[in-house]
A = this chain, B = another copy of it.
């Protein structure tokens, strides 16, 4: 999606006030769905969701938490075949699914998190998540994944011919799925048409900021960042973790550090 307003004019206060640069009418209802499965990574879900929650104070947002079944979805990953259960994180909060894939409402935005539980679903040949993505893709305005959630997008077929990224520590596992996916090794997040994918776990917060900055305007997005006291990484190409986790093809020439500060303020690096 091309910027809706020339960048040089954004130095004017008009952009800071969010008058331009947003693609969405705040009064229009926005239906958001988030996938849950046993063994989801909690921060994959809650990082973006905290931003969506704050946005709902000023925008007309509805939320469906979508599981295979309704009710609490266990955070801990189910045990995997041929692996001792202690090899994987055993703790995690149970979060309530308000809908199933069968009764989820019409969605404008669907977000697919990652987590160890995706491997269990895959080993069990349980394809409910890629099937749901494929069945709903045409109605969606935007499809977003965090972390290894991109593996489910790849399985669904919607990444064919698209740029995408995923968790850098689980790169080999996640990128085995899909045909014709242009996996980007060094990226905090990617945007290709109406599909956004982020790197691992906390990268979902940065992608969600960039996404809502484009959708709702910079003022609304910055207000939320400052309310949650988060300094987002704003360069989609900044990805030291691709180097840390030795992803094949990672761009090691980029500096690992980045200067960050509160959104919307001029700042010096200490």
* Residue ranges of A at the interface with B (Cβ–Cβ < 8 Å): 41-43, 45-47, 49-50, 52-54, 56-57, 61-63, 65, 72, 75, 86-96, 167-169, 199-203, 205, 226-231, 233, 235, 238, 240-241, 244-245, 254-262, 265-270
Cross-interface CB contact of A45 among B88, B93, B96, B268, cutoff 8 Å: B93
List chain B residues, Cβ under 8 A from A52. 91
User: A53 and B257: CB pair below 8 A?
Assistant: no
A87 to B164, CA, bound (A): 37
List chain B residues, Cβ under 8 A from A270. 235, 238, 254-255, 257-259
A231 to B265, CA, bound (A): 20
A57 to B226, CA, bound (A): 33
Additional A-B contact list (17), CB under 8 Å, known A56-B89, A256-B266? A46-B47, A50-B201, A52-B91, A53-B75, A56-B91, A93-B95, A169-B227, A200-B227, A200-B229, A202-B230, A229-B241, A231-B240, A238-B270, A244-B262, A256-B262, A258-B259, A259-B270
Cross-interface CB contact of A229 among B62, B72, B199, cutoff 8 Å: B199
| Distance between A98 CB and nearest chain B CB, rounded to angstroms | 8
User: B261 and A269: CB pair below 8 A?
Assistant: no
List chain B residues, Cβ under 8 A from A42. 46, 49-50, 53
Chain A contact residues: helix, strand, loop or mixed: loop
List chain B residues, Cβ under 8 A from A241. 226, 229, 262
A47 to B50, CA, bound (A): 11
User: B201 and A230: CB pair below 8 A?
Assistant: yes
List the B residue with the shortest CB-CB distance to A169: B227
List the B residue with the shortest CB-CB distance to A203: B229
List chain B residues, Cβ under 8 A from A75. 53
| Distance between A133 CB and nearest chain B CB, rounded to angstroms | 20
User: A240 and B262: CB pair below 8 A?
Assistant: yes
A262 to B257, CA, bound (A): 7
List chain B residues, Cβ under 8 A from A167. 229
List chain B residues, Cβ under 8 A from A258. 231, 259-261, 269-270
List the B residue with the shortest CB-CB distance to A36: B93
| Distance between A70 CB and nearest chain B CB, rounded to angstroms | 11
List chain B residues, Cβ under 8 A from A233. 231
Q: Which 6 A-B pairs give the minimum distances between C-beta atoms?
A: A256-B267, A257-B261, A257-B267, A46-B46, A94-B96, A201-B228
A200 to B245, CA, bound (A): 30
User: A226 and B201: CB pair below 8 A?
Assistant: no
A230 to B169, CA, bound (A): 12
